[in-house]
Amino acid sequence: MEEKVIEAKDIVVKYDGITVLDGVSLDVLKGDFLGIVGPNGGGKTTLLNALLGNVKLSHGEVRLFGTDLNKFKEHHRIGYVAQHAIQFDPLFPATVEEIVRLGCISRNNLGRWITAADKEAVKEAMDAVGIYEVRRRKISELSGGQKQRIFIAKALVKRPELLILDEAASGLDVSIQDRFVNLLRQLREKTGVTIVTVSHDLSSVMCQANKLAIVNRKLEMTEITPGTDPTKSLRDAYGEHFTFVFHNHRDNCIIPR
């Protein structure tokens, strides 16, 4: 049986009595690439927060790697890039390497100094996203797309089995997005990492993901295979007046050939 990396059953999240997620269930298997899409305010980020234990569930349960979320302690198995990661304090004095090194921290090594193995992992992660040569630069000196790579490298340091990206490619120009897509593809091929990404870029999600979750208070899961046409579900979420055009090739869909 395939290993379930994330298992959510009938979760309900309410903010101040208003239901934001209503009876959401999903399974993410090892090696899956789940794309989460949906309109603004539909509950995408709330879903991620619920899966990571950042919000209190009114109902339901979440299991990560088979362990109940409330008992889950293996945070080193998860890499996370936050929605607004690059919107940090521009005055914050830190080099690229110092920020990537923060990725070494986990519950298992609190109070332990950085080891040689950690340093090697940091170097590998910076290499993987192409920022090794600027490791001594102040983070605010880099452009938006380059900053995003810092946070992806930080998430990769622990060689995570599950990578969660909350609109990690938003605000990046198409060439950087292209590199980002390729990076994720290479990562999946090399490490078999499970990826969950929230995105507004339907094109990118349809090209990369093997599962699509459309979130608009409720959740609808679709397997993405050649020929998949989730138009009805997308129209339910975004509105009837949209036309969605799908094509079957699974190559880079961001820059048209």
Partner 1 sequence: MDLITAFGYTFFQRAFIGGLCAAVLCSLLGVFIVLRRSALIGEGVAHLSFGGIALGLFLSIYPLDTALIISLLGTLGISYMQRKRIVYSEMAIGIMISFGLGLGAVLASLGNGFNVDLFDYLFGSILTISADDLSLSVALSLVVIVFILLFFKELMHLTFDEQGARLSGVPVFILDLAFNIVLAFTVVVSIKIVGSLLVSALLILPASSAMQLSKSFRGTVAISLVVGIIAVVLGLVASALYERLATGGAIVLISIGLFLLCVLLKKIMGSEPRPVTIS
Residues at the site binding partner 1, with contacts judged by CB under 8 A: 52, 54, 73, 75-76, 78, 80, 82, 85, 88-89, 91-95, 98-99, 101-108, 110-111, 113-114, 130-131, 133-134, 136-138, 140-143, 146, 154
90, 39 Cβ separation under 8 angstroms: no
Nearer to partner 1, 140 or 186 (CB): 140
How far is CA 163 from each of CA 51, 169, 184, rounded to the nearest angstrom? Answer: 12, 14, 10
Cβ at position 89, least distance to partner 1 in Å? 7
Nearer to partner 1, 60 or 145 (CB): 145
Rounded CA-CA distance 11/60 in Å is: 4
Rounded CA-CA distance 209/205 in Å is: 5
Cβ at position 212, least distance to partner 1 in Å? 24
Rounded CA-CA distance 191/33 in Å is: 13
Phi, psi of 251 (to 5 degrees): -80, -165
Cβ at position 50, least distance to partner 1 in Å? 13
Nearer to partner 1, 75 or 250 (CB): 75
Cβ at position 63, least distance to partner 1 in Å? 17
Rounded CA-CA distance 27/9 in Å is: 9
Cβ at position 141, least distance to partner 1 in Å? 6
- CA-based nearest residue to 65, from 78, 80, 54: 78
Q: Which two tokens stand for residue 19?
A: 């239901």
Nearer to partner 1, 178 or 236 (CB): 178
Angle at 228 between CA 5 and CA 62, to 5 degrees: 20
Bridge-based pairing state of the strands 33-37 and 194-198:
parallel
Cβ at position 83, least distance to partner 1 in Å? 10
Q: Which two tokens stand for residue 6?
A: 């994330």
Nearer to partner 1, 63 or 154 (CB): 154
195, 165 Cβ separation under 8 angstroms: yes
Cβ at position 75, least distance to partner 1 in Å? 4
Nearer to partner 1, 114 or 255 (CB): 114
- Sign of the four-CA dihedral 96, 97, 103, 109: negative
Nearer to partner 1, 25 or 140 (CB): 140
